[in-house]
Amino acid sequence: MMFLKEILHRKLSFIFTLAGVLAAVTLVVSFYTLTKATWNETRLLTRDMGFNLRIIPTQTNMDEFWINGYSENIMPEQFLQRLVDQNSVNYAHLTASLHKQISWENQKVILSGISPDEIEPGGARKSKMIFAIPSGTVILGFEVANKASIQRGDSIQVLNTAYLVDKILAETGSLDDIRIYFDLNELQTLLNMPGMINEIMALNCMCSTKGDNPLETLRTELGNIIPEAKVVMNSTIAVARERQRKMGDKYFSMLVPLFLIICMLWVAISILNNVNHRLQEIGILRALGFGSGRIAIIFFVRAALAGFLGAILGYYLGTEIAKSFGPDIFKVAPNSVKELPVLLFWSVLIAPILACVSASIPITWALSRDPAVTLKQD
């Protein structure tokens, strides 16, 4: 096979071409693999910023809501099920809660009951954004525990009922510092409010809605599902979450074309160098009756083979580079860097094509030269 003989005759030139493809595929695969891990790391980091949606009864007095930190009005817990049944893409991590302010141990505290599960529309259970509260226990905010000199493991009385302190939260500088957290069902029983809540906490990914402010879309959807409730959004968290996601997308879309252009130029230069040294041979072949198409096939097959081998080697090398650096970069989700077999498919498909495209200009230039002129230059 002539193209194999050509490769063996010009091994260094072929290796140089192969190195260009290898560098391109390695860079793209490692960068894309790390970018995918970045998306997951960003998702977890922004998720940990907390819920950005609060669904409360329509009749809530908003002045009192912002002063107290919760709605004084209540609504049935079944409202949560309505959102679940609608299979909405705009609400996630749905969590029912009940809040009540009381005086306790010479201080004002907020009793907060949190449902044990965070539910997706459609009924799927999600990893919790907030802590689970074991039955018979409470979790204390920093200021509550500090003022009453309570330690983890102590037993306390709340409304004549004994509870074990499961955990004391770190200081947050917010209303959470004066909360006592319960399992939702236990607080409903304690307050004699079975099946009632005054808030549904949720998370909105702005990629599910259009524009930088999806609040109107959310309110329209909620109005169709639960007209007795309204939604309040923490826009700061929502916008920060979405801008972080978009930044990752733009970063990848800008750098990958740059990698490809540089490496395609590398391949083109290596092919040009090869055909420049083979002009005499090309002239002889054409003088012997070899058509331009047949000669071009030799060089194109050579470029495609370099693309194919570079794609396979580059995929595995790029994956290993990403997996080596990943754990040091991603502290929240160190296992996010994973092998992506689909990249092997696309690498093997695209790299030979790009190698041939890069080779087309120098090959066309070489074959366009008059063989008689080329041979006279000897």
Q: Residue 372 — pLDDT band, cuts 50, 70, 90? A: low
pLDDT in tens, 240-269: 656 666 666 666 666 667 767 776 777 777
Helix, strand and coil content of the chain, in percent to the nearest 5, comes to 60, 15, 25
| Mean pLDDT of the residues in the chain | 78
Taking a C-beta distance cutoff of 8 angstroms, is the pair 91, 204 a contact? yes
**Distance from C-alpha of 243 to C-alpha of 232, rounded to nearest angstrom:** 20
In this model, does residue 211 exceed pLDDT 60?
A: no
- Whether 338 and 267 have beta carbons less than 8 Å apart is answered as no
Structure tokens at 347: 């690498």
Task: Encode pLDDT of 270-312 as tens digits.
Answer: 777 766 666 656 666 666 666 777 777 777 888 888 889 989 9
Query: Which SS3 state, helix, strand or coil, does residue 199 take?
Result: strand
- Where do the structural domains in the chain lie, given as residue ranges? 2-45+242-376, 53-233
Task: State residue 304's pLDDT score.
Answer: 87
Q: Quick one: which H or E segment has residue 329?
A: helix 292-329
- Report DSSP state, residue 81: H
- The average pLDDT across 119-137 equals 71
SS3 99: strand
